[in-house]
Amino acid sequence: MRVSVFGLGYVGCVTAARLAEAGHKVVGVDLNDQKVAMINSGVSPIVEPGLEELLGRVKAAGHLRATSSCEEAVAASDVALICVGTPSQANGRMSAEALARVCRGIGNVLGATRKPYTVVVRSTVMPGTTAEVVMPALRAGIGNGERPDVKVAVNPEFMREGTALRDFQSPPFTLVGCEDKATSWQLRELYEKVDAQFVQTSVRTAEMLKYASNAFHALKVCFANEIGDLCEATRVDAREVMRVFCLDHKLNLSDAYLKPGFAFGGSCLPKDIRALNQVARAADVDTPVLSTLLPANVARIRAAAATVLATHKRRVGVVGLAFK
């Protein structure tokens, strides 16, 4: 398959190299002429174990080259993977400036040709970005008239610095958000050599899932650190606690309790969270994650009650009166 990769940063370089290794004809695109020159010399512009050797091999095999020309890249490809950055603005809001600029450029080229084309957003973007930024930017570049032959999809990456090559080849799953089967099959073919389950979902779900994953990963780090601090304060081996904790794949490391719904209850969870927080206060241990659990749970109950009361109905049915 002929592929262009826009943005030769961390995600773009690894993506381009791995796809070229899989036999695809790949063109990397970046406004930074130094990055382009390094790729064309088989040299990695980023530090990642094994990447420079891989770039050298795929460059020598003729499967990868780089350019700063959007027109050249689109002409030489049938699929574009957009891997540009979406940094935080001063107020924390995601910046889609680079993403919009790339999409307008691709649209300008497509406006002068009738070739079928697929634009895939690999950058991390908030839900609604594809509909509100990507597609309008493409249309603005293309000009007047509908182009059903131009497809759009979202394909988040799940790579970590230091293990990115391995993570690309063996991700938790290959996630694609798109609205038509043809695009899904095209991307299934693109990633056929990747060792992972192929999951197709909606565009907005794919956009949100990357943020949900990253938020959960951050939560796990903070949770483990707070448990570690509590263990130290109570003279317990924190690493042994978490080692045994991770042996539980039924409740701890599983999909248990990970379904959106109502608050937690019962006699155990509220009591034990209160006890942990009391120990933390007594030991002068800061636990911002654990200390928000009970207030967050109360907020959930209040929100549910407010939803019911807002109906102004006098008869209320409660389905399910189980212990928890």
Q: Give residue-wise pLDDT tens across range 206-242.
A: 999 999 999 999 999 999 999 999 999 999 999 999 9
pLDDT of residue 267: 87
Per-residue pLDDT, 277: 97
Residues that are catalytic: 268
- pLDDT value at 324 more than 80: no
Per the structure, the complete domain to which residue 224 belongs is given by 203-257
% of the chain with per-residue pLDDT over 90: 94
> What are the backbone dihedrals phi and psi of residue 175, each rounded to the nearest 5 degrees, phi first?
-100, 125
Q: Are residues 190 and 214 in the same domain?
A: no
Q: What digits encode the pLDDT tens for the residues 253-274?
A: 999 999 999 999 988 999 999 9
Token duo for residue 40: 């064309």
C-alpha dihedral, 100 to 102 to 103 to 105, nearest 10°: 120
Residue burial 277-292, b: 16+ Cβ < 10 Å; e: rest = beebeeeebebebbbe
Same domain, 249 and 193: no
Helix axes 293-309, 269-282, angle to 10 degrees: 140
Residue 302 and residue 212 in one domain: no
Total number of domains in the chain: 3
Q: Which of these three, 257, 276, 302, is where a domain ends?
A: 257
Pair (213, 310) in one structural domain: no
Predicted confidence (pLDDT) at residue 323 exceeds the cutoff of 60: no
**Tens-digit pLDDT profile for residues 100-150:** 999 999 999 999 998 999 999 999 999 999 999 999 999 999 997 789 999
What are residue 151's phi and psi, to 5 degrees? -105, 155
* Phi/psi of residue 244, nearest 5 degrees: -70, -40
User: Do residues 158 and 250 both lie within one domain?
Assistant: no
pLDDT in the model for residue 319: 79
pLDDT at 146: 82
Average pLDDT, the chain: 96
Are 24 and 119 members of one domain? yes
Residue type, 34: Q
Which tens digits make up the pLDDT trace of 292-312? Answer: 999 999 999 999 999 999 999
Rounded distance, CA 50 to CA 242, Å? 32
**Same-domain status, 47 and 194:** yes
pTM above 0.85, yes or no: yes
Burial readout 51-80 (b: 16 or more C-beta within 10 A, e: otherwise)? bbebbbebbeeebbbbbbebeebbebbebb
Q: b vs e for 200-235, b when ≥16 Cβ sit within 10 Å of the residue's Cβ?
A: bbebbebbbbbeeeeeeeeeeeeebebbebbbeeee
**Do 33 and 46 reside in the same domain of the chain?**
yes
**Are 137 and 182 in the same domain?**
yes
Nearest Cα neighbor of 155 from 81, 221, 219 is: 81
**136 plus 183 within the same structural domain:** yes
229 and 265 belong to one structural domain? no
- Both 168 and 245 in one domain: the answer is no
